[in-house]
Amino acid sequence: MGGRMQELNERMKTQRATGSSGGGMVEVEVNGLAEVLRCRIDEGLIAGGDRELIEDLVVTAVNQAMTKTKQMHAEAMQSLTGGMSLPGLDEAMQQFLGSDQTTDETDETDDKES
C-alpha cells in the first residue's frame, strides 16, 4: 500500500481546488496537498484600501479551498481502499474533514462572505 500512497500523493499534488469570496473579488488556488499556489485580489478591492475586509475575504477564500481539498482527500482515500470498510476510517475522515459528514461541498461559492 506504500507505493499506492506515494502515487496518491503525487496525484494530489497535481489536483487543484479554488476558493473565492466577495463575489469573486478574491480567489485562492491550492493543490491537493493544501499548498497555496495562487491568490488573486481584485484591483478595485485593493484600491478601496479596506485592509480588514481584504483580510477577511482572503481567509474565507482560503478556508473554502481547503474544504474542497479535504473532500478531494476523502474521495482519494475511498478510491485507494477500493471502497473497503476499514475500521476507524470513517471516523478518521470525519475528524480530518472537521465535520460529521463527508459530503461534497465543492459547489459552494461565496457562501462565507464577510
For residue 90, being part of any structural domain is answered with no
Residue 65 buriedness (CB in 10 A; 0-12 / 13-18 / 19+): buried
For residue 113, being part of any structural domain is answered with no
For residue 109, being part of any structural domain is answered with no
For residue 52, give the CATH number of its domain. Answer: 3.30.1310.10
Number of domains, the chain? 1
For residue 52, being part of any structural domain is answered with yes
Query: Which residues form the domain of 14?
Result: 2-70
Is the pLDDT confidence value at 110 over 60?
A: no
Q: Quick: pLDDT tens for 53-105.
A: 999 999 999 999 999 999 988 888 777 777 666 666 666 655 655 554 433 33
For residues 97 and 71, is the Cβ–Cβ distance under 8 A?
A: yes
pLDDT at residue 67 in the model: 94
pLDDT at residue 3 in the model: 77
For residue 57, being part of any structural domain is answered with yes
Is the pLDDT confidence value at 22 over 50?
A: yes
